[in-house]
Amino acid sequence: MNAIEANLNARIPTARLASFYFAYYAALGAFNPYWALYLKGLGQDVAAISILMSLWYGTRIFAPSAWSALAARSAQPILWLRMGSVLTVASFTLFSVPHDFTVLFVVMCVFCFVYNAIMPQFESITLSHLVGRSERYGRIRVWGSIGFVVVVAVFGVLLDYLPVTALPWLMLPFFVGMAIASFFNDYGRPPVAVTDTESTSFIARLRRPEVIAFFIVALLMQISFGPYYTFYSIYLDEHGYRTSALGIYWSIGVIVEILVFAFSVRIFRRWNAATVLIVSLIAASLRWAMIALWPDNAILMAFAQTLHALSFAAFFAASMQFLVLYFPGRQNGHAQGIYYGFSSGIGGVLGALLSGQVWQATGGETAFMLGSVTAAIAALIAWIWIRPGRPSASA
């Protein structure tokens, strides 16, 4: 390592950045697997849970872009991150006492709006410190996955002995830690605005058939995850699995996710992004079908969770490759916002609501089979419009 590299490394506040990722995703590691169980513990039925959980995805449609726009216009954009972190703590404390559906709906709206606005801003902060050293991103971001998997496993054991209504008190320290970490972080350099010429070029790229197909595929993939993100823990609970087992199954998914991200450079040296994308969609279809057909087979359920390596991690990594290909340079930030809002936002809402309706009408098995069919349709679209060998939108 030469003197320039050593100086560059010294300027990257790795510990401070990693601490925020750890706290943010540690809280998410309790929210994703166990929040539906918490709502069920409050006496909410499947339809109510699907509506409440859909708010998590619904606020993703506009919260990140709205807060990012306000931060971009501010003389001190870091203040918006810190304010969002503090408001997340304040709104989450309202869950410490039981509420009926109406109050839960209002509190969930506020909490999800501010919590979902935080990470896109912090990603921008991290990348502002990694200009010219983007390969170091994984080493920092991995602490988020570590926080997630640790909390998933530990909380699974704790909730075997504690009532699920204690969940907000268990999660609150992580939100407080996240808020504290926000005051120890700042931008490495100010964000760069996009010019009018680049905006025109962006719209032209967005209209290309393969780009439209890519966003549709991302939307369908997120819809297919609806039963998993909303009801997977309840599904296992209904089939007799202990809460600690739920933690193990969620942990398996995150551990293989970490491995894929760690070896993503090698993966894309061997296979192109289109191949990885299509394989990940097929894996997702297989995964949801296995969960639907053999929920009582612990071994097959564990194997289905290993497919998270493909159905989530590989899909996400391939998607990032396509976003860089389709929207190079400063257009990428705008594209990330659209991708986030369209797939996780709209797709998440549709997935949660549709799976809730199907679940209530015909049961969890049918909901997961619907997810399998949705992923298969996405794979077909990808094969027709994004398959290897098709002309790209990079030109």
**Total domains present in the chain:** 2
Write down the pTM of the prediction: 0.74
203/187 same-domain check: no
Query: Last residue of a domain, which of 191, 206, 226?
Result: 191
208/187 same-domain check: no
Q: What is the CA radius of gyration of the chain?
A: 21
Distances (CA, A) of 373 to 30, 271, 287, 369: 29, 25, 11, 6
163/269 same-domain check: no
How far apart, in whole angstroms, are the C-alpha atoms of residue 288 and residue 375?
9
Residue 335 domain boundaries: 197-395
* pLDDT of 344: 80
360/299 same-domain check: yes
Query: Last residue of a domain, which of 140, 162, 191?
Result: 191
202/308 same-domain check: yes
* pLDDT of 2: 47
298/367 same-domain check: yes
Domain CATH number, residue 183: 1.20.1250.20
* pLDDT of 120: 74
Binned average pLDDT, 10 residues per bin, the chain of 395 residues: 46 90 93 89 87 85 76 79 95 90 93 88 76 65 85 87 92 97 83 52 80 93 89 85 82 82 76 89 95 91 87 81 72 68 84 87 90 96 78 44
